[in-house]
Amino acid sequence: MTDSKMDVDSPAAAVEQLKEANGEIDESLYSRQLYVLGHEAMKRMGASNILVVGLRGLGVEIAKNIALAGVKSLTLFDPKPAAISDLSSQFFLHPEDVGKPRDQVTVPRVSELNPYVPIKAHPSKTITSDLQSLKAYQVVVLTDTSLQDQLLISDYCHENGIYVVITDTFGLFGSIFTDFGKNFSVVDPTGEEPKHGIVAGIDEEGLVSVLDETRHGLEDGDYVTFTEVEGMEGVNGGAPKKITVKGPYTFSIGDVSSFGAYKRGGLYQQVKMPKFIDFEPFAKQLKTPELLMSDFAKFDRPAQLHIGIQALHAFAESHGGKFPRPHNDEDAGEVLKHAQGLAGAGDDKVELDEKLIKELSYQAQGDLSPMAAFFGGLAAQEVLKAVSGKFHPIKQWLYFDSLESLPTTSKRSEELCKPTGTRYDGQIAVFGKEYQDKLANVKQFLVGAGAIGCEMLKNWAMIGLGTGPNGSITVTDMDQIERSNLNRQFLFRPKDVGQLKSDTAARAVQAMNPDLNGKINALKDRVSADTEHIFNEKFWEGLDAVTNALDNVDARTYVDRRCVFFHKPLVDSGTLGTKGNTQVVLPRLTESYSSSQDPPEQSFPMCTLRSFPNRIEHTIAWAKDLFHTYFVGPAEIANQYISSPNYLGSALKQSGNEKQTLETLRDALVTEKPKSYEDCVSWARFQFEKQYNNAIQQLLYNFPKDSKTSSGQPFWSGPKRAPDPLRFDPENPTHFTFVLSAANLHAFNYGISPKQQKDKAEVVNMINNVMVPEFKPDPGVKIQANDSDPDPNASNAAGGDDNAELQKIADSLPTPKALGGFTLTPVEFEKDDDTNFHIDFITAASNLRAENYKIATADRHKTKFIAGKIIPAIATTTALVTGLVVLEIFKIIDGKDDIEQYKNGFVNLALPFFGFSEPIASPKGKYQGPNGEVTIDKLWDRFETENVTLQQFLKDFEAKGLSVTMISSGVSLLYASFYPPAKLKDRLPLKLSELVETISKKPIPEHQKNVIFEITAEDTTEEDVEVPYVMLKLDK
């Protein structure tokens, strides 16, 4: 993919290129990440040079994430020869690379990830012999480095203002340390959007009240500024004021005595203030560590691991740099002695759990892909924090382990954990050979091959999932690769744009681990009710486990329901910028994904959007609606009229919309049908006048600026901002863009060739030829003043009096035949194509309306985010979350049935915050059966029945102590105890399948192997009881 823009348009290209491009950022590549970090942070990253030392799994994971994020340059250092065991987690090494220097082999493969980031190997033989060379870097990341080297390098970096991140994993244990020097400035500690709102009042004590509808969402110590306050003008502008929260709708700004007396109005806006942090050097922190908790259920573990990992380094120092042998008791004893010496030496005595330290020694040579993913995501995010000042760093240590992932059903011993000379040795060192064979024979289903899907497949390839004779992986994704995917969906390259995600991802991971050849089934089908003939009973019953990698709730809910139905374990995960979560769904143990719901999306009242916007979100929603009203709806209606023989007849029967439909057809096919591009410009210019001048004049005619409400208050106050009409000016870029983009989209509807920005002079000429009549307000127009008022135009549907007028419009339309095969092309909204004028139109339309109402405008980037409902995303969070998912999959494959061993995870890398909780148990119920109380799992249990008669079915339930009072299937009511005897006489002898087909008047599809019945019943106490559904098994 070559495009001249690509060479210069990045923050991460060379400085000269940056100067030429004025430091612009390639938004099509970095789009989703920009919504996490913002332009300023990305520009700072674009001036940064990073060194990553150590290129086993963890090092390459960090390098991958940094390269995708976009920095000025990335240098890698690891001259050690690659070993076969590195392939346990180093996804850019191949078996033929064994023996070659790791950095020489890895550099070209990391280079492919991002054409903007130059990647090279560090030239020195060792880092410690040439510390001076480190001055070329802003951040140095150390992995797989001895403690002596860590001390030497970190001390030099601390002295010379170079930021340091040190991270390592040992089997299921891992740690990270950061040192960003003295007085490190964090520009935005949380990454959350600044809060803003409308002031309802400020009293003489400085207590600010906000409008009742919205909580202010501020916290003690936040800072705000004010604008548009009347009376108390002194509060407007000026330095940000520190606040104290008094309640959800009030906060105090302290002394306001010198600012005047408050009259009305005002807006408040939160201001992010920088935070300054002092870091201590590594040597000092080694003795007195500042520990950040990763899991509050393991409160005493970080301090022990801090000692334990130092003990591992002490062992390595006396054994030629080698860590303890896997599961070797002699070595573990030696590590424990070192640990006991260290634990007693410090000021704070640390109580050691001997079993924990021994386990750390057993696993020290372990190398697990999901742990590399977790710490690789974390470390790369810390590097980005260091160079951008965005988000709060880890201060200064974080330890994490997942000992719950150790298998209990497969044996571990020194014999079973010793190296076998294969690519899985790093994993066998931790789990043993038996468990590795178990992993290989799993049948796994992955739904989605986007960002999480790519990371998931990479992890599965590394751990050898599904590579055995009975193993397999099925992956499905209906999407094709787009350019904006390349920034975080790291299995895809520019040459893959336009290819299917599932096929491309499968090919990429088969190249990473050839053991997967022939083991991945890549599909392009959506998993939904429409594809149950593909993902049928046989398919689901053949699976061992399911993983979601989806970004929409409907699809996740559907997969979740199928997993509950077929009793399959599911791990679901999601990310939103720096936030991520994982959820484990286990048959008969936990609740499911659908058991809880997210709060609904924010929606705006129509009256606010139509006449009284006060936020940019209102004007963007209005502009998106206008886009649909202009370029989608009319074309679709006209095409229906042309293609459906009796479209008018049915349209005129729809109460309320007849006039609107006919007028739309008349405009699209007669009065506004353009013959040339000039007609399109003329139409667009009229639309500008209609929306930004005439409509506003009409609104001010109905509600003049000095009008009062019935209670005598000014009408234009509180959330209502008084607008002003706009006068069209072709030299104003926003005015011109509105007309150009509207004309082009109108032209697209009619198959007329568009014009570009470069044709501005020609288009302006056309605009100047348009005669725009002067507007006179219409006294007959009614406008809804409040959302609670009835809409005065809603009842104004076409009544009998209008029939003649309607007929007149209908008669003026050309017949479909007369149009001779003419059709319109509706516009399909596509946010990521910068050449199609969609976002240009919405941005211009929204900002012009914002100008009408004196609302701060939004640039194209922000408008695209809101209008396109873009989910912000960054590779670091995705990698980390996927690591957590795979740690849970290890438990599922082991067959653990203790809910306390599993963890749902919640992370926010910006804060940083880590929260883990055991999954919520599925709800249980009870009923009185013939032999006493029966307990049921309300989510996972069901009754199963053969295809018996209805009479037999009712008898079978009587035997369970349940008297069935009603049976339904889908929308059909099949039986009710109150039915008259005549009705029952016909139904009781029918088999259940016949009953369903008779009542629904539809045959049961051939591929369907079962039918679901919902029943209501009473137990032996004649009480209504909640009972599970019934599944009828069909003999097919």
The three-class DSSP label of residue 559 is helix
**CA atoms 504, 505, 509, 514: torsion sign:** negative
Of 157, 454, 607, 680, the catalytic one is 607
Is-contact 63 55, C-beta < 8 A?
A: yes
Q: Quick one: how far is CA 305 from the chain centroid? A: 33
Task: Name the residue with tokens 């797989």.
Answer: 144
How does 376-390 read in b/e, with b if 16+ C-beta sit within 10 Å? bbbbbbbbbbbbbbb
Q: What is the dihedral of CA 77, 78, 79, 83, to 10 degrees?
A: -160
Tally of helices (H runs) and strands (E runs) in the chain:
34, 33
The three-class DSSP label of residue 121 is strand
Alpha-carbon distance of 412 to 434, in angstroms, equals: 8
How far from 763 is each of 250, 630, 679, 753, CA to CA, in Å? 52, 20, 11, 13
Is-contact 188 390, C-beta < 8 A?
A: yes
Alpha-carbon distance of 360 to 529, in angstroms, equals: 48
Alpha-carbon distance of 163 to 157, in angstroms, equals: 7
Alpha-carbon distance of 927 to 937, in angstroms, equals: 11
How far from 22 is each of 14, 25, 787, CA to CA, in Å? 12, 9, 47
Is-contact 642 654, C-beta < 8 A?
A: no
How does 549-580 read in b/e, with b if 16+ C-beta sit within 10 Å? bbbeeebbbbbbebbbbeebbbbbbbbebbbb
Question: Is position 563 annotated as part of the catalytic site?
Answer: no
- Please state whether beta strands 241-242 and 244-247 pair in parallel, antiparallel, or not at all (unpaired): unpaired
**DSSP alpha helix (H) spans, 464-530:** 501-512
Q: Quick one: how far is CA 863 from the chain centroid? A: 18
Is-contact 661 637, C-beta < 8 A?
A: yes
Q: What is the DSSP string of 844-891?
A: HHHHHHHHHTTPPP--HHHHHHHHTT-----HHHHHHHHHHHHHHHHH
Q: Which amino acid is at 524?
A: K
Task: Name the residue with tokens 């023996």.
Answer: 99
How does 844-875 read in b/e, with b if 16+ C-beta sit within 10 Å? bbbbbbbbbbebebbebbebbbbbbebebbbb
> CA angle at residue 876 from 77 to 53, to 5 degrees?
10
Alpha-carbon distance of 532 to 1009, in angstroms, equals: 11
Does 814 sit behind a cis peptide bond, omega within 30 degrees of 0 on the bond before it? no
The three-class DSSP label of residue 905 is strand
Is-contact 398 176, C-beta < 8 A?
A: yes
Among 810, 831, 510, CA closest to 666: 810
Instruction: Give phi and psi for 459, each to the nearest 5.
Output: -60, -45
**CA atoms 521, 523, 526, 528: torsion sign:** negative
Strands of 73-77's sheet in order across: 119-121, 73-77, 49-53, 139-142, 163-170, 173-179, 397-401, 291-292
Alpha-carbon distance of 842 to 304, in angstroms, equals: 57
Q: Which residues are catalytic?
A: 607
